[in-house]
Amino acid sequence: MLAKAQELLQQYYGYPEFREGQKRIISALLEGRDTLGIMPTGGGKSICYQIPALMMEGVTLVVSPLISLMKDQVDALHTVGIPATFLNSTLEAGEAGRRIREAMQGKYKLLYIAPERLESDWFRQWMHSMNISFVAIDEAHCVSQWGHDFRPSYVNIAPFVQDLPSRPLVAAFTATATTEVTQDIARLLELDDPEVVVTGFGRSNLELSVLRGVNKRDFVFDYAKAHTHQPGIVYAATRKEVDELYEQLRRKGLAAGHYHAGLSDEERARNQEAFLYDDVRVMVATNAFGMGIDKSNVRYVIHYNMPKNMEAYYQEAGRAGRDGDPSECMLLFSAQDILTQKFLIEQNQLSQDRKSNEYKKLQTMIDYCHTPRCLQNYILQYFGDEGELVPCGNCSSCKDDRETVDITVEAQKIFSCVRRMQERFGISMVAGVLKGSRNKKVLQYKFDNLPTYGIMKDRTEKEIADLINVLIAEGYMGLSEGQYPVVRLQAPAVEVLQGRVQVFQKVTPSQPLESAVDNMLFEQLRLLRRDMAAKEKVPPYIIFNDSTLREMSERCPTTEAQMLKIKGVGEVKFRNYGLPFLELLQEYVREQEAYAGEF
């Protein structure tokens, strides 16, 4: 059966073979096993349920969280010749009923729905009359309240599946889930002895960077200006910051858009479409600009503020380089980001347990911003990736080639001060005592009488606080949970105080701005794609993604057979879109041959 699946992959998608993770998931589904697939953004999750859907009787129901996401998926399926449709709140009742009847008649193989649809009595009654052989659940982490994007309507999925006349095969997919959330997904969706496939969270094409102490606005403008030919996303924590950044970029002549929940539905849809069609090159957005973004050629993601947790960060950063080409993910960190995220946590009406969990996740994110270790490895460890941890050689920590500095003495001073303050105060208070601050609170507790008072007066309080954060990130100290965490010593700190272990530090440098230049043929192919996309009224990447165009420009196929060997060029896509590209390539080769013949 896998051989048949492979044929369909080549026929519809133009790829000769599955990735290893896709192969494991599809094999399990074709054997009739419920499956939980955890794959990084851009790992090809959709193929894992779309190919089995073609091979099964009846209809596959796909639970998808966003209207824009399901529309993009259905548009993409239409371009390769796979019959699919969606039901969501944008449709009139009559149109929704017509689509359901057509699905019952076998017109569609995949039917996309929002999880809220399962709360409707009339919808559940219709589903009882339909031959549903397979249910695929996208963004499955939304079912867990311990995940980063809990959505109560996902809790309705398991009862709906169990209530169907004949229980279908069930598969759940997500890009970001810790071990705890993975177990929660399997339990809450009531998966039957599922095959759990974790393909690894590593994204070798992403260059991860954390930049501290930079002028954020200047950095964003300079970077966007140097990369005007590349699509990118800038995430900011608040609507106000989004609007201010957007206005600044527009005033300076950059093709920018903005997106947040404060804009009207029409304006959000218009801005998102402009970005998808490459009319806008840089999108400034809050995390409301989220799971519906299936654009494959985003070349950079800049986080203007530190996100609230690692799951949110990696999912947002992972929107860069979905086509597998090199892309940059830059996080601009400042101490104010911590206060902003704590404020947002306190504003949410959460139970005390969930609030405590949010603070714990936030501390992990703070540690990420300070660790001198490989950033890719830090993320892999967080998600419980059990593969061999080898430094990526591509992140800002790995590429930091400055001399390693021995900071054992400074660390001992900090540890000694924390101990003398009885491990009862936070980072800023400890930094104030070490600096020799005359702060009212420092004097109130008589910390100016401590032997450690002022022993680091040659440094600023910010420098001391940054050093404390580095030592926390490396496990020498820990922080209690809550809005006002206190610093506590861990076992490794005791060894440092006793002189048995040394402590070293590297200062992470800012990355230089580089402007990549695309070759002429690649740009010609992109312009052709854009013109065709405008006529077809679909986003450019729906026709061919950047990596497919790049392979065309490198290999210069001049026959249909050669074109069908390009990854991403299937039979249906070639029939619908391939000929103009082939003609452009043939003309390019003729010109090159004629040019070479003159010399």
pLDDT band (50, 70, 90) for residue 290: low
Q: Which of 341, 373, 351 is nearest to 238 (CA)?
A: 341
pLDDT at residue 519 tops 70? no
Domain 2-198 and domain 206-382, same fold? Reply is yes
Lowest mean pLDDT among 159-163, 277-281, 327-331, 333-337: 333-337
Q: What pLDDT was estimated at residue 213?
A: 67
Tell me the average pLDDT across 405-420.
Answer: 93
Assign 3-class secondary structure to 352-394: HHHHHHHHHHHHHHHHHHHCCCCHHHHHHHHCCCCCCCCCCCC
Identify the pLDDT of residue 507. 53
Residue 576 burial (C-beta neighbours within 10 Å; 0-12, 13-18, 19+): middle
Nearest residue to 323 via CA among 551, 516, 21: 551
pLDDT tens, 243-271? 999 999 999 999 999 999 899 988 988 99
In this prediction, residue 496 carries a pLDDT of 94
Would you state the pLDDT for residue 479? Answer: 83
- Token reading at 13: 């998608």
**Strand residue runs (E) in 400-464:** 405-406
Q: What is the total residue count of the chain?
A: 599
Does domain 206-382 fall under CATH 3.30.70.1400? My reply is: no
Q: What is the pLDDT of residues 264-276, one digit of tens each?
A: 988 988 998 899 8
Q: Are 45 and 37 in contact (CB under 8 A)?
A: yes
Q: Is the pLDDT of residue 510 over 60?
A: no
**Calpha distance 373→397 (Å, rounded):** 6
Residue 559 has pLDDT above 50, yes or no: yes
pLDDT tens track for 18-54: 988 899 999 999 999 999 999 877 678 899 999 999 9
**pLDDT higher than threshold 80 for residue 477:** yes
Q: For residue 140, which of 35, 59, 70 has the smallest C-alpha distance?
A: 35
- Reported confidence tier of residue 119, pLDDT bands at 50, 70, 90: confident
* pLDDT value for 149: 72
State which H helix or E strand residue 283 sits in. Answer: strand 282-285
Measured distance CA(51)–CA(29) in Å, rounded: 10
Domain ranges of the chain: 2-198, 206-382, 405-505, 520-597
Q: Is the pLDDT of residue 595 over 60?
A: no
pLDDT in tens, 169-196: 999 999 878 888 899 999 999 999 999 9
As assigned by CATH, the class of the 405-505 domain is mainly alpha
User: Where residue 221 falls among pLDDT bands split at 50, 70, 90?
Assistant: very high
Q: Nearest Cα to 83, choosing from 115, 57, 50?
A: 50
Residue range 520-597 forms a domain whose CATH class is mainly alpha
Among 392, 388, 389, CA closest to 400: 392
For the segment 382-395, the average pLDDT, to the nearest whole number, is: 81
Q: What's the mean pLDDT in 322-346?
A: 88
Residue tagged 């002429």 (tokens): 520
CA atoms of 258 and 250, how far apart (whole Å): 10
Average of per-residue pLDDT across 352-369 = 88
CA angle 348, 351, 355 (to 5 degrees): 65
**pLDDT beyond 80 at 444:** yes
* pLDDT on residue 541: 84
pLDDT band with cut points at 50, 70 and 90 for residue 435: very high
Is residue 386 a contact partner of residue 448, using CB atoms and an 8 Å limit?
no
pLDDT higher than 50, residue 211: yes
The angle subtended at Cα 522 by Cα 521 and Cα 523, nearest 5°, is 90
When pLDDT is averaged across residues 306-335 and rounded to a whole number, the result is 90
Q: What is the pLDDT at residue 422?
A: 94
According to the model, what pLDDT value does residue 596 have?
A: 53
| Beta-ladder partners of 233 | 283, 301
∠ CA 387-388-389, rounded to 5°: 110
Range name among 220-229, 419-428, 543-552 with the lowest pLDDT average: 543-552
Per-residue model confidence as pLDDT tens digits over 97-108:
899 999 999 999
- What is the CATH code for 2-198? 3.40.50.300
pLDDT value, residue 594:
64
User: Which pLDDT score is estimated for 148?
Assistant: 64
Q: Is the pLDDT of residue 506 over 70?
A: no
Average model confidence (pLDDT) for the chain? Answer: 88
pLDDT at position 260 is 92
pLDDT confidence tier of residue 72, bands split at 50, 70 and 90: confident
pLDDT of residue 402: 63
Whether residue 517 is predicted with pLDDT greater than 50 in this model: the reply is: no
Burial (Cβ within 10 Å: 0-12, 13-18, ≥19) of residue 151: middle
Mean pLDDT of 433-445: 93
